[in-house]
Amino acid sequence: MQPWVWLAAYVLGFGLLQVLLYRRFSGRTPSPEPTEGRVTRADGGRRVVTEASDTVACGHCGAVNESHRMIRYCGSCAESLR
C-alpha cells in the first residue's frame, strides 16, 4: 500500500476516535457546583449546613480553626475537618 493511504487511514481513524471520545465525555460536568454554605459534622454524626464564615469548629474536639479550602485537618487534634 502507498504511504499516503496509510496516512489518510490514520488521520480518519484518529478523527473518529476524537469524535467518539468527545461524545462520551461531553455530558459530564468538570466539577460540582459550589454550595452557598459550608457542610460540617455536628455532634452525633448529624450533618448540618452552616453559613460560610472565616472559622470552622472541629467536629471531634470543638477547636476553632481558620476556614480555608486548603486547610483540611484540625490544628489541635489533627482530625479531618471535612
Structural domain spans, the chain: 38-82
Distance of alpha carbon 10 from alpha carbon 28, whole angstroms: 28
Distance of alpha carbon 49 from alpha carbon 39, whole angstroms: 5
* pTM of model > 0.85: no
The per-residue pLDDT for range 34-79, each reduced to its tens digit, is 555 555 555 554 444 455 568 888 888 888 888 877 888 888 888 8
Distance of alpha carbon 33 from alpha carbon 75, whole angstroms: 28
Distance of alpha carbon 11 from alpha carbon 35, whole angstroms: 44
Cβ atoms of residues 44 and 52 within 8 Å: no
The DSSP line for 26-38 is TTS-SSPPPPSEE
